[in-house]
Chains A and B, each alone.
Chain A
Amino acid sequence: AQSVAQPEDQVNVAEGNPLTVKCTYSVSGNPYLFWYVQYPNRGLQFLLKYITGDNLVKGSYGFEAEFNKSQTSFHLKKPSALVSDSALYFCAGISSGSARQLTFGSGTQLTVLP
């Protein structure tokens, strides 16, 4: 079975400060990992993905994520948060093996305070 965990329901950060949204995974084989963002009353938007290669992945809107195999983590980061980054963030993962279903974490509500 595969699972993705987001240990924090809520993250608050001041504008201009760095932000981190945490994600850990339990996926057999080599994982494919994704981050999506959801604004109020909207669908999810793709931010970035890790498939293979460089452990540091850069994505949209200045976000990046670091794949850490030993810690089974894929934390989302941004050096300087904007108020407009406030949204619900989802980590998702899938095994490169036989499992075909993308599993989402429970989501983390990020609030950037002005």
Chain B
Amino acid sequence: KAGVTQTPRYLIKTRGQQVTLSCSPISGHRSVSWYQQTPGQGLQFLFEYFSETQRNKGNFPGRFSGRQFSNSRSEMNVSTLELGDSALYLCASRKGQGDTGELFFGEGSRLTVL
């Protein structure tokens, strides 16, 4: 069974640009979460979607947004990029919406902002 797929794996942008990252969850998984990982801040929760609805949102500015499609695929968008947005963005899927299930992570999209 295919795992969580994130695209692109690597990308370089300049300040002020915007970026869209994509995540395809494991087949049958309806919950998708996004995390930002940086050396200084560790893993920070961005948001979670379940059945196309945002279920929870972390403490990030409005420049960070996301959505989920009917096939459970998810995208996140960051507008007006800042240098501090350079990070590894991880997507994770889970079968149900219960909190006891383990998360299955993709390999991440590494964003570098110059």
Q: Which residues of A contact B (CB under 8 A)?
A: 32, 34, 36, 41-46, 49, 51, 90, 94, 96, 100-107
B99 nearest CB neighbor, chain A only: A94
Q: Using C-beta atoms within 8 Å of the partner chain, give the interface range for chain B.
A: 20 to 34
Q: Which of B1-42 contact A (CB under 8 A)?
A: 4, 33, 35, 42
- Is B64's beta carbon under 8 Å from chain A? no
- Is B107's beta carbon under 8 Å from chain A? yes
B33 nearest CB neighbor, chain A only: A102
Q: How far is the CA of A44 from the CA of B103 in the complex (A)?
A: 9
A105 nearest CB neighbor, chain B only: B42
Chain A residues near B45: list those with CB within 8 A.
101-104
Chain A residues near B70: list those with CB within 8 A.
none
**Do B100 and A32 have beta carbons less than 8 Å apart?**
yes
A39 nearest CB neighbor, chain B only: B107
Chain A residues near B90: list those with CB within 8 A.
43-44
